[in-house]
């Protein structure tokens, strides 16, 4: 029986030549381009590059970000200047139509609609990014604490999360926004971010718990790795996949929620800084006679939210470890 | 003095609302420095739980570990979590069954090896990387420098297990526990890994506890073999004695159920009837009695005790006699 345990070095000579040839063959196969050191992110990127859904979403996002950053220069007119005020007549319900230099016409008080849309993307980008980052940070903190410590800490955190999740998200955001004495863009960000915290926390906690019982965490413990390193090196990085995906999806939700809060009047009351939700809110009085005033900001919100959703969905597929090769 | 002295080790799992479950029931054995000891038994016999208990890796809540585990004279079971952590990976290493899931998928191999070196030997990262390449080379991984930058999914199964062995042996522990280290590998790789383990253990003087359900693995490697059934050791003997003359009907059954190349053509394998019972009824007779071809009336009434006879330990009322044909 001990014969079955043969050292690789002591093979019969007849096999030696063949083994070497096989090894050489295997080595050439393994030496393919980009084979060495492919991390999870790199292999995900390789698959994303060929995914048309991802490319479309990414194109929308890139366009949106570029427009937001360059909007002060892209906008033909000052978005706060009432250049077409002369064509506005409240009595006759007249709002400036499209004309030379003003391809989308003016708004209710005679400001250039296109310039307001372009500059308004800044606010939307800012609210979306900050709300997501703050929500992500809070969710990571709570989720890591709950998933790493477990026990009563986990129970406590998760009950708080349950309570927050039991309130409809827009209602919760609305209530948080109303806590502040004066509405501003900052309160919108905070309100939208707070709504996202429990979602991130629960997601991370779930995958942390799954990691806690995993073989590689047990193996790391068997090597005497300290608990802090177990959590931050072995559990957290392996739990982040679903959270990253959720973050891109939350960007879309945050943009919609922020627009909704502005629409409902919880945003910045000063309408000199254009914001899509606020523009939409302002257009509702004239939506019968001038639907274009609502159409453009609403369309922008939808397309940008769609872009983030497409990227989020394709990221989810790409980061799924079951798809890895 | 024995390197590791396990005596009367018991593990009882307790869950709220469920009756306590005894997974290990008074197991005793010892390992001398440099010795290789096998723990053999089928699934559910308590061999893995025994190893986790020795390593202090069982959950603190829910698992009640009693008895004594002395390592170089020091009682491991009374150590604090922190003290035990300092010993794991440094004094005691462990290799697990599934090499893919035992590696962290998002960290390159090199960082996983250096983590142990930094943790226990206080090496700076750069020096640890050099040492890690050396370790991978020692366990027979070709082109170790390139492998340091690769991720677990890029390595073959055998390569992964070699990397895990390198990590377990990185700090030169005096005891290595290998829990079914070859079960997830294919047969040719199994032989390579076993040969590697045998070689490393011989060269470094590391004691090895080999946990397996496969007596073939034990045959090539172990000095002494403990056969476990239902959480208790039922037979212990030196390897050659055990294979030449299995005394316990369970050991006999395990050996009879292995396919042999030198068996006459057409001979049927002899399985052991039934499967391990969920609850272990050692308090009312022998746990193996319901499946035992040799069972007597006393077997279901009186729990057999460990008896010593010519250098082996045996827990059986009616052991297999020499030249006895055991009916299946």
Q: What is the pLDDT along chain B (328 residues), one digit of tens a residue?
A: 789 999 999 999 988 888 888 889 889 999 999 899 999 988 878 888 999 999 999 988 889 999 999 999 899 999 999 999 999 999 999 999 888 889 998 889 999 999 999 999 989 999 999 999 999 998 989 999 999 999 898 888 889 999 999 999 899 899 999 998 888 888 888 888 888 888 888 888 899 999 988 888 888 888 999 999 888 999 999 988 888 888 899 988 888 877 766 767 777 777 777 766 655 568 778 888 888 888 888 888 888 888 888 788 999 888 888 666 555 4
pLDDT tens per residue across span A227-240: 999 999 999 988 88
Record: contact A219-B164, CB cut-off 8 A: yes
A38 contacts chain B (CB < 8 A): yes
Does any domain span residue B325? no
From the list A5, A215, A234, the residue facing B220 with the nearest CB is A5
**pLDDT value of residue B276:** 65
Does any domain span residue A15? no
Does any domain span residue A57? no
Work out whether strand B36-40 and strand B207-212 pair parallel, antiparallel, or are unpaired. parallel
| Gap from A46 CA to chain B (nearest CA, Å) | 16
Q: Pick from B172, B192, B208: which residue ends a domain?
A: B172
A5 contacts chain B (CB < 8 A): yes
A35 contacts chain B (CB < 8 A): yes
Does any domain span residue B319? no
Work out whether strand B63-71 and strand B92-95 pair parallel, antiparallel, or are unpaired. unpaired
CB within 8 Å of B116: residues ≥ 6 apart: A223, A224, A225, B89, B167, B170, B171
**pLDDT value of residue B325:** 58
The C-alpha atoms of residue A216 and residue B210 are separated, in whole angstroms, by 20
> Are B200 and B158 in the same domain?
no
From the list B55, B86, B101, the residue facing A215 with the nearest CB is B101
Return the beta strands (E) in B171-284 as ranges: 175-179, 207-212, 224-229, 232-238
> Are B195 and B298 in the same domain?
yes
> Are B76 and B217 in the same domain?
yes
> Are B167 and B177 in the same domain?
no
Does any domain span residue A194? yes
Does any domain span residue B205? yes
From the list A8, A234, A324, the residue facing B195 with the nearest CB is A8
Does any domain span residue A259? yes
Does any domain span residue B184? yes
Question: What is the chain A residue with the closest CA to B148?
Answer: A37
Return the beta strands (E) in chain B as ranges: 4-13, 21-31, 36-40, 63-71, 74-75, 92-95, 175-179, 207-212, 224-229, 232-238, 307-309, 312-314
Does any domain span residue A83? no
Residues in A closer than 8 angstroms to B149, CB to CB, are 36-37
pLDDT along chain A (325 residues), means of 10: 42 48 48 46 79 92 90 81 74 74 78 87 88 93 90 91 90 86 85 91 91 91 92 90 85 87 79 82 81 88 92 82 55
| Gap from B204 CA to chain A (nearest CA, Å) | 17
> Are B136 and B79 in the same domain?
no
Task: From A185, A168, A164, A151, select the one nearest A273 (Cα to Cα).
Answer: A185
Q: Angle of helix A52-74 relative to helix A292-319, nearest 10 degrees?
A: 140
> Are B126 and B51 in the same domain?
no
Record: contact A216-B104, CB cut-off 8 A: yes
B59 contacts chain A (CB < 8 A): no
Does any domain span residue A208? yes
Q: Pick from B157, B172, B187: which residue ends a domain?
A: B172
> Are B183 and B252 in the same domain?
yes
> Are B245 and B154 in the same domain?
no
The C-alpha atoms of residue B10 and residue A85 are separated, in whole angstroms, by 88
Q: Pick from B172, B201, B235: which residue ends a domain?
A: B172
Does any domain span residue B323? no
| Gap from A216 CA to chain B (nearest CA, Å) | 4
| Gap from A220 CA to chain B (nearest CA, Å) | 8
| Gap from B260 CA to chain A (nearest CA, Å) | 9
> Are B68 and B161 in the same domain?
no
> Are B252 and B201 in the same domain?
yes
Q: How many domains does chain A have?
A: 1
pLDDT tens per residue across span B223-241: 999 999 888 999 999 988 8
Q: Angle of helix B109-121 relative to helix B157-168, nearest 10 degrees?
A: 10
Does any domain span residue B322? no
DSSP secondary structure string, B25-83? Answer: EEEEEEE-TT-EEEEE--TTSSHHHHHHHHHT-S-TTTEEEEEEEEETTEESTTS-HHH
> Are B272 and B192 in the same domain?
yes
- Domain span holding position B271: 4-91+173-314
Does any domain span residue A172? yes
> Are B224 and B207 in the same domain?
yes
CATH of the domain at A272: 1.10.3720.10
Does any domain span residue A189? yes
Record: contact B105-A321, CB cut-off 8 A: yes
Under 8 Å CB pairs connecting chains A and B tally to 108
CB count within 10 Å of CB B273 equals 11
Q: What is the CA radius of gyration of chain A?
A: 27
The first and second tokens of residue B286, run together, are 């022998």
Record: contact B146-A38, CB cut-off 8 A: no
Q: What share of chain A is helix, strand, coil (3-state, %, to 5)?
A: 70, 0, 25
Cα–Cα–Cα angle for B30, B305, B213, rounded to 5 degrees:
55
CATH of the domain at B41: 3.40.50.300
- Domain span holding position A161: 123-323
Does any domain span residue B139? yes
Question: What is the chain B residue with the closest CA to A214?
Answer: B101
The C-alpha atoms of residue B193 and residue B162 are separated, in whole angstroms, by 7
* A286, HSE (Cβ side, Cα atoms, 13 Å): 22
**pLDDT value of residue A35:** 40
Q: How many domains does chain B have?
A: 2
Which A positions 113-152 lie with beta carbon below 8 A of chain B?
Answer: none
Does any domain span residue B194? yes
């Amino acid at each position: 029986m001990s014969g079955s345990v043969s050292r690789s070095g002591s093979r019969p000579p007849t096999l030696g030549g063949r083994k070497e040839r096989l090894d050489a063959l295997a080595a050439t196969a393994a030496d393919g381009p980009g084979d060495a050191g492919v991390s999870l992110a790199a292999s995900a990127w390789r698959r994303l590059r060929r995914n048309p859904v991802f490319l479309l979403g990414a194109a929308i996002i890139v366009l949106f970000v570029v427009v937001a950053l360059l909007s002060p220069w892209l906008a033909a007119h000052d978005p706060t200047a009432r250049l077409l005020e002369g064509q506005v007549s409240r009595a006759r319900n007249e709002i400036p139509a499209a004309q030379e230099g003003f391809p989308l016409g003016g708004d209710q008080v005679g400001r250039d609609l296109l310039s307001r849309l372009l500059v308004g993307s800044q606010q939307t980008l800012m609210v979306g990014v900050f709300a997501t980052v703050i929500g992500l940070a809070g969710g990571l903190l709570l989720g890591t604490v709950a998933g790493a410590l477990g026990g009563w800490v986990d129970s406590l955190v998760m009950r708080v999360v349950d309570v927050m999740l039991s309130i409809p998200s827009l209602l919760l955001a609305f209530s948080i926004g109303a806590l502040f004495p004066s509405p501003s863009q900052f309160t919108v960000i905070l309100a939208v971010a707070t709504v996202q915290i429990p979602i991130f926390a629960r997601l991370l906690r779930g995958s942390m718990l799954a990691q806690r019982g995993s073989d590689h965490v047990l193996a790391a413990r068997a090597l005497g790795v300290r608990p802090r390193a177990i959590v931050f090196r072995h559990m957290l990085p392996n739990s982040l996949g679903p959270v990253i995906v959720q973050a891109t999806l939350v960007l879309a939700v945050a943009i919609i929620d922020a627009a909704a809060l502005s629409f409902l009047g919880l945003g910045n009351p000063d309408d000199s800084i254009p914001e899509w939700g606020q523009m939409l809110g302002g257009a509702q009085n004239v939506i019968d006679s001038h639907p274009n005033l609502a159409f453009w900001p609403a369309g922008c919100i939808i397309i940008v939210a769609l872009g983030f959703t497409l990227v989020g969905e394709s990221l989810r597929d790409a980061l799924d470890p079951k798809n890895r090769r | 003095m024995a390197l590791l002295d396990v005596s009367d080790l018991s593990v009882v799992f307790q869950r709220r609302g469920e009756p306590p479950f005894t997974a290990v029931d008074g197991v005793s054995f010892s390992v001398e420095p440099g010795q290789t000891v096998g723990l053999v038994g089928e699934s559910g016999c308590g061999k893995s739980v025994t190893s986790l208990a020795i390593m202090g890796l069982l959950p603190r809540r829910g698992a009640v570990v009693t008895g004594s585990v002395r390592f170089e004279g020091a009682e491991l079971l009374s150590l604090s979590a922190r003290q035990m952590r300092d010993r794991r990976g440094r004094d005691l290493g462990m290799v697990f069954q599934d090499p893919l899931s035992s590696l962290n998928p998002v960290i390159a191999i090199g960082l996983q090896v250096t983590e142990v070196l930094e943790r226990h030997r206080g090496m700076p990262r750069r020096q640890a990387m050099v040492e890690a390449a050396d370790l991978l080379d020692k366990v027979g991984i070709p082109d170790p420098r390139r492998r340091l930058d690769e991720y677990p999914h890029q390595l073959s199964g055998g390569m992964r297990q070699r990397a895990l062995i390198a990590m377990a042996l990185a700090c030169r522990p005096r005891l290595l526990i290998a829990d079914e280290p070859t079960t997830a590998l294919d047969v040719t790789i199994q032989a390579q890994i076993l040969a590697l383990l045998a070689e490393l253990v011989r060269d470094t003087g590391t004691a090895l506890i080999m946990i397996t359900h496969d007596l073939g693995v034990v045959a090539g490697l172990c000095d002494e073999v403990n056969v476990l059934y239902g959480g208790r050791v039922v037979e212990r003997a030196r390897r050659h004695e055990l294979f030449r003359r299995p005394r316990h009907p369970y050991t006999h059954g395990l050996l009879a159920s292995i396919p042999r190349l030198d068996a006459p053509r057409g001979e049927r394998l002899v399985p052991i009837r039934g499967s391990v019972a969920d609850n272990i009824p050692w308090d009312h007779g022998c746990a193996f009695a319901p499946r035992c071809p040799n069972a007597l009336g006393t077997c279901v009434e009186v729990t057999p005790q460990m008896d010593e006879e010519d250098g082996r330990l045996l827990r059986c009322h009616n052991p297999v006699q020499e030249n006895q044909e055991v009916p299946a």
